[in-house]
Amino acid sequence: MKEQREGEVILSSYLAKRAVTAKLQATGSQEILEEMVSALVKAGRVDKNRAKKLVRSLMEREKQGSTGIGGGCAIPHCPFEGVDGLILLIARSEQGVDYDCVTGEKVHVFVLVVYPPGMDQKRRAVLGRVLELCRTTNWLKFLKVAQTARGIIDLVSEYDNEA
């Protein structure tokens, strides 16, 4: 892994690699969040007994305004007391999901960010880096066609090395 310079965000250092999903099966917005949280539970990153609460927290955040950013990407995120550090999960839906994106398009790439309350500076830095990659590079385009979890993980590392 690349050595981190001050102020630089290395997304792979937060990525829940064992939970990365290249082929989400769910077709609705709540089901997508449930499937991603379930992957975090299976990877040991979220306690099974707190999974439903995390999904509710993410849905509450979505009620404030869709986290769909356009280009076929959404960045669902929320603070959650059930985690001990910032967690990043990337998941891909081949068919796309109607996620109330402001642009009206289906979402194919989900970048889930969960963090403990009060971790505002790190949260903003990670969300900022994800937005930057989505808007100024081919990162999102490559994520949309990644066929395996390993491909997604390698793509995150590749762009970390270019930071």
Residues 57-93 pLDDT 10s: 999 999 999 999 999 999 999 999 989 899 999 999 9
The pLDDT score that the predictor gives to residue 2 is: 43
Residue 47: other Cβ atoms inside 10 A: 13
How many Å separate Cα 120 from the centre of its chain? 17
What residue segments make up the domains of the chain, in order of their start? 11-161
Tokens linked to 50: 């707190």
Kindly state the average pLDDT of the residues 101-126: 94
Interhelix angle 51-63/29-42, nearest 10 degrees: 140
pLDDT surpasses 60 at 125: yes
The pLDDT score that the predictor gives to residue 5 is: 52
**E strands, 7-159, where?**
68-70, 73-74, 77-79, 87-97, 107-115
pLDDT surpasses 70 at 147: yes
> Quick one: pLDDT band at residue 141, thresholds 50, 70, 90?
very high
pTM above 0.85, yes or no: yes
Least confident of 18-27, 28-37, 93-102: 93-102
Kindly state the average pLDDT of the residues 111-126: 95
The pLDDT score that the predictor gives to residue 8 is: 84
The pLDDT score that the predictor gives to residue 1 is: 43
Query: Residue 116: which residues within 8 A CB-CB, separation 6 or more?
Result: 79, 80, 81, 83, 84, 85, 86
Fold annotation for 11-161:
Mannitol-specific EII; Chain A (3.40.930)
Q: What is the mean pLDDT of the chain?
A: 93
Beta bridge partners of 97: 107
CA max distance for the chain: 40
Task: Give the strand pairing for 68-70 and 77-79.
Answer: unpaired
The pLDDT score that the predictor gives to residue 103 is: 85
The pLDDT score that the predictor gives to residue 11 is: 97
Give which of 73, 72, 83, 163 is closest to 125, Cα–Cα. Answer: 163
**To the nearest whole percent, how much of the chain has pLDDT over 70?**
95
